[in-house]
Amino acid sequence: MSTTPVETRPMGLVVAIDGPSGSGKSSTSRGVATRLGLRYLDTGAMFRGITWWMLREGVDVHDAAAVAARAEEPEVMSGTDPSGPGILVAGVDVSLAIRSDDVTSAVSPVSAVPAVRARLLDLQREVIADGGIVVEGRDIGSVVAPYAQVKIYLTADSSARAERRAAEEGGSDIDATRESLLSRDKIDSGRATAPLVMANGATHIDTTPYSLDEVIDQVVALVEAVGEHA
Ligand code: DC
């Protein structure tokens, strides 16, 4: 049974940044948090962390019932420093391991399991509760923190996303990277629980023509505009 608390509105600022894989969410979120002196939560890293643990335990990640049965078990602790957030799962620092191909190909089916989402929703809301935070994911503005004062939905052309992601991964094949991104998008957008959607009240930024600094500038301006009207 989920212990998900009723959504509570933190006193401080929450900036929700959602969008598909490779749209620039992580770099933008970290950049905005650093410039504004806010904390940062990478919810994708939490889904990757629980996926890493399922693989380590030999759970069949395509068997939703098997994944659900173990979803409450691993302890997941997320750091919130934008310059090096770090993540511990069952006491192991998995900051690098969660970026492996094995985890990347298993994370979408694991994140589609409602028991996994309920478990991580509790943890995400605990971290967000103190406010003063930029939170990135797929369902932050729609489900996790719908009260966020600033909600951003980032997208980019699939070719631009694949090029950026392949460069981040140290020169992976661009076509294969694009296929992997599109296949994850399909699962993330099509799942029944908390699919990737643009939240009500979100500002859509297509990052294709902009540099990272330009996107950060746009988001910082939106946050500052909210502050002026608070
Ligand atoms: O942002 P990322 O690529 O590291 O996210 C990894 C996966 O986690 C992504 O394919 C979907 C899932 N995810 C999710 O379902 N909900 C979130 N809030 C964040 C990530």
Among 188, 189, 193, the mutation site with the greatest number of ligand 1 atoms within 8 A of its Cβ is 188
Give pLDDT tens digits for 36-72: 999 999 999 999 999 999 999 999 999 999 999 999 9
Lowest mean pLDDT, pick from 16-20, 56-60, 175-179, 202-206: 175-179
Pairwise pLDDT comparison (111 vs 187), residue with the higher score: 111
Q: Which atom of ligand 1 is nearest to the CA of 104?
A: 6
Pairwise pLDDT comparison (79 vs 191), residue with the higher score: 79
Residue 44 in tokens: 């994708």
Is residue 195 lining ligand 1, measured as CB closer than 6 Å? no
Distance, CA of 198 to CA of 14 (rounded, Å): 17
Q: Give me the pLDDT at residue 1, please.
A: 42
Q: Could you give the percent of the chain with pLDDT greater than 70?
A: 94
Which band of pLDDT confidence, cut at 50, 70 and 90, is reported for residue 171? confident
Measured in Å, residue 42 CA sits from the centre of ligand 1 at 9
DSSP 122: H
Is residue 142 lining ligand 1, measured as CB closer than 6 Å? no
Is residue 22 lining ligand 1, measured as CB closer than 6 Å? no
pLDDT(188) > 90: no
Which band of pLDDT confidence, cut at 50, 70 and 90, is reported for residue 22? confident
Give pLDDT tens digits for 157-169: 988 888 888 887 7
Q: Could you give the percent of the chain with pLDDT greater than 90?
A: 72
Q: Give me the pLDDT at residue 7, please.
A: 60
Which band of pLDDT confidence, cut at 50, 70 and 90, is reported for residue 121? very high
Q: Which residues lie across from 136 on neighbouring strands?
A: 17, 42
Packing angle of the helix pair 114-128, 101-111 (nearest 10 deg): 100
Q: Where are the domains of the chain?
A: 14-223
| DSSP per-residue letters across 18-87 | E-STTSSHHHHHHHHHHHHT-EEEEHHHHHHHHHHHHHHTT--TT-HHHHHHHTTSS-EEE---TT---E
Among 14, 26, 43, the mutation site with the greatest number of ligand 1 atoms within 8 A of its Cβ is 43
Please name the residue that has the structure tokens 């540099």: 211
Contacts of 197 (CB under 8 A, 6+ apart): 139, 142, 189
Distance, CA of 48 to CA of 187 (rounded, Å): 15
Q: Which atom of ligand 1 is nearest to the CA of 26?
A: 1
Of 27, 55, 49, the residue nearest 93 (C-alpha): 49
Measured in Å, residue 43 CA sits from the centre of ligand 1 at 7
3-state secondary structure of 185: helix
Written out in words, the top-level CATH class of the domain with range 14-223 is alpha beta
Distance, CA of 173 to CA of 23 (rounded, Å): 18
pLDDT(220) > 90: yes
Distance, CA of 173 to CA of 162 (rounded, Å): 9
